């Protein structure tokens, strides 16, 4: 499999004693993702599905500030949402601020390994759509893993952080890794893919979310109703990896694919009209990102992405021009 540039690995954290003692707050940024190519096998006995996915980290980020609370127990974790969050108040209202939040679970996992652990406060700035098929919650968790590792001086390796992340969800290890990758198994068996040249996209979020388990269930129902028999996917098409390697948007366009798209469109039929708008306005290709309902439109280059975003906005849609691949979870301050 391809190998990626080392720039996509989490940064090395200073280990000198003075830096450790001075560190009381860590700010980390982690990217959302899109699935450029996504194949889904039949349901397994455990209810999960084997997948073959081509992940791409894109420049729509979550930011988390983790602040130590000296004198409190490691289990004493509080959460708030930053005013700088760009998502609507209605969407933010649905985010749990208790122990069910993946970010809190991430902090607790690191605390179990950190002799210096104390209570912390997590301030999350949300920019990735919630329940939007872009792994926003997983990005939060990845950011907290990196931040708490730095804050408490646990000095965990990337592999150790990834193993912790896999306990929280299949998308967390990729939010740590960033860049481009092939995901097998349930999406957690990651192999980095070479993608040195950015590809440009326009994302159109929805005003609602879709539950990933519900989308998978609907896919199974649609396949059963149609009598469709599918094999377990073994690998992403080599044409996808070749297009990522060369950064050739035109070569990638015919290979954009998402097995979950039919289920997402069945649950949210209005998305089809937005896909048609993007096609009409000149996107090279278009698809539902992951389990949806965020839509991704492939552009020829940066200028085309800006033009396409403006045209979609003029048609009444929210639209963001982004690029990928970008770095995984990394410390800002």
* Catalytic residue chosen out of the listed positions 33, 105, 259, 277: 33
Determine which helix (DSSP H) or strand (DSSP E) holds 117, and give its type and residue range: none
3-state secondary structure of 309: helix
Quick check: is 105 catalytic? no
Query: Nearest 5°: CA angle at 179, between 174 and 185?
Result: 35
Any bridge partners for residue 26, and if so which?
Answer: 66
Taking the C-alpha atoms of residue 175 and residue 140, their distance in angstroms, rounded to an integer, is 9
**Diameter of the chain measured on Cα atoms:** 65
Edge to edge, the sheet with strand 295-299 lists: 285-288, 295-299, 199-204, 320-324
Contact 33, 183 (CB under 8 A): no
CA distances for 256 relative to 28, 37, 202, 253, angstroms: 31, 5, 14, 6
Strand partners, 80: 123
What tokens were used for 202?
A: 């326009």
Q: Which of 149, 171, 259, 277 is catalytic?
A: 171
DSSP for 177-235 reads HBSEEEEETTTTEEEEE---S-EEEEEE--SS---HHHHHHHHHHHHHHHT---PPP--
33 counts as catalytic: yes
Residue 146, number of CB atoms within 10 A of its CB: 30
Kindly report the number of other CB atoms within 10 A of residue 174's CB atom. Answer: 30
Helix axes 158-166, 102-111, angle to 10 degrees: 130
By C-alpha distance, which of 5, 283, 285, 292 is closest to 133? 292
Active site residues: 33, 171
């Amino acid at each position: 499999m391809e190998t990626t540039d080392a720039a996509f690995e989490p940064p090395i954290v200073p280990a000198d004693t003075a830096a450790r003692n001075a560190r009381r707050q860590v700010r980390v940024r982690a990217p959302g993702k899109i699935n450029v190519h996504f194949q889904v096998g039949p349901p397994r006995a455990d209810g999960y599905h084997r997948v073959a996915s081509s992940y791409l980290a894109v420049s729509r980020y979550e930011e988390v500030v983790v602040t130590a609370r000296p004198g409190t127990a490691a289990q004493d974790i509080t959460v708030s949402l930053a005013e700088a969050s760009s998502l609507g108040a209605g969407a933010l209202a649905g985010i749990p601020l208790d122990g069910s939040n993946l970010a809190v679970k991430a902090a607790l996992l690191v605390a179990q390994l950190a002799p210096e652990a104390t209570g912390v406060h997590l301030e999350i700035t949300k920019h990735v759509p919630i329940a939007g098929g872009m792994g926003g919650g997983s990005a939060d968790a990845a950011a907290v893993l990196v931040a708490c590792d730095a804050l408490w001086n646990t000095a965990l390796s990337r592999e150790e952080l990834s193993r912790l992340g896999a306990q929280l969800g299949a998308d967390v290890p990729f939010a740590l890794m960033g860049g481009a990758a092939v995901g097998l198994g349930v999406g957690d068996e990651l192999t980095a893919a070479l993608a040195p040249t950015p590809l440009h996209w326009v994302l159109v979020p929805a005003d609602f979310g879709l539950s990933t388990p519900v989308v998978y269930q609907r896919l199974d129902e649609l396949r059963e109703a149609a009598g469709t028999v599918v094999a377990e996917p073994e690998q992403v098409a080599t044409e996808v990896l070749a297009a990522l390697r060369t950064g050739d948007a035109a070569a990638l366009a015919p290979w954009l694919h998402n097995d979950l798209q039919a289920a997402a469109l069945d649950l949210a039929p209005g998305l089809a009209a937005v896909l048609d708008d993007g096609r009409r306005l000149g996107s090279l290709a278009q698809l539902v990102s992951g389990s949806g309902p965020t839509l991704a439109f492939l552009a020829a280059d940066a200028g085309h992405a800006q033009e396409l975003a403006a045209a979609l906005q003029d048609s009444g849609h929210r639209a963001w021009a982004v690029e990928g691949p970008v770095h995984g979870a990394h410390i800002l301050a």
